[in-house]
Amino acid sequence: MAIGGLNGFASTEVQNSTFVLQLKFSAKIPPIANTRPVVRHFKQTLRLTIYILTIFAATLLLGFRHFSLPVTITGHLKNSPRDTSAYTEMVLVFVKGDHKILAKSYTDNKGNFEISFTPNKEKSFDFYCTGLGIDTLLIGSVRTFESDTPEMTFYIPGQLKRNAFGKVICPICKRADKVYKIRHSDAPVSTMVISKSGDTTYSPIYKGKFQAGCLVGLARYYCDRDKVKF
């Protein structure tokens, strides 16, 4: 029988004509359950959790990492229909991004060239050329490429684009408010500019024109925002 969680038994006997009741109790300790399966399951769950968190963290970090493939451009430098005086042979062509030169190449005797670089989050890719009788000239600007191996044609001087009001826009910033026509003269005029802090600088902009020297180049306009001739 069991009393209060104790197990025992009862017996009776007669000793010297006396009835004796004997009671014996013992505490029955239940067997300890095998905890190995529980521990093993906990370890497996912990390892799985760590693995999932590792994969999640790696995916999160790599998701913000910028991967780029090299771009190889097959380029062609041609004369503008309005001005065929410029040389297109052995002209240095270079591309800049965020004011840094990314790559450069020379044209062959037909004005063809190949240039390669790896984009890295640049806001735009600006193409310039310079050579015999050619001042550093902006010939084009793009923000993206259609493929990793695009074929592009540039004109020297570059083809002009205008906004809805007929104003020439800069190939880089796509705006017209800081674009000035270039004026060549023997004695170019500079404008003195005094800043609020008292610093003095000189600007080549005078009476709405960019004042250039007497050597007439191919550039026709100047963007004072991006400091480029085109």
Percent of the chain residues past pLDDT 90, beyond the cut: 46
Asked whether the predicted pLDDT for residue 22 surpasses 50, the reply is yes
> In angstroms, rounded to a whole number, what is the distance separating the alpha carbons of residues 40 and 32?
17
Structure tokens given for 160: 């002009």
List the domain boundaries for the chain: 2-63, 72-159, 166-230
Query: How confident is the model at residue 87, as a pLDDT?
Result: 85
pLDDT in tens, 1-15: 544 554 554 454 545
End-to-end CA distance of the chain: 108
Beta bridge partners of 2: 7
Query: How confident is the model at residue 198, as a pLDDT?
Result: 80
92-102 average pLDDT score: 95
Q: How far is CA 144 from CA 63, 119, 126, 128, in A?
A: 21, 9, 11, 17
Chain mean pLDDT for the chain: 80
40-68 average pLDDT score: 62
pLDDT category, 64, cuts 50, 70, 90?
A: very low
CATH topology for the 72-159 domain: Immunoglobulin-like (2.60.40)
Query: How confident is the model at residue 225, as a pLDDT?
Result: 94
Of 186, 190, 180, 184, which is closest to residue 216 (Cα–Cα)?
Answer: 184
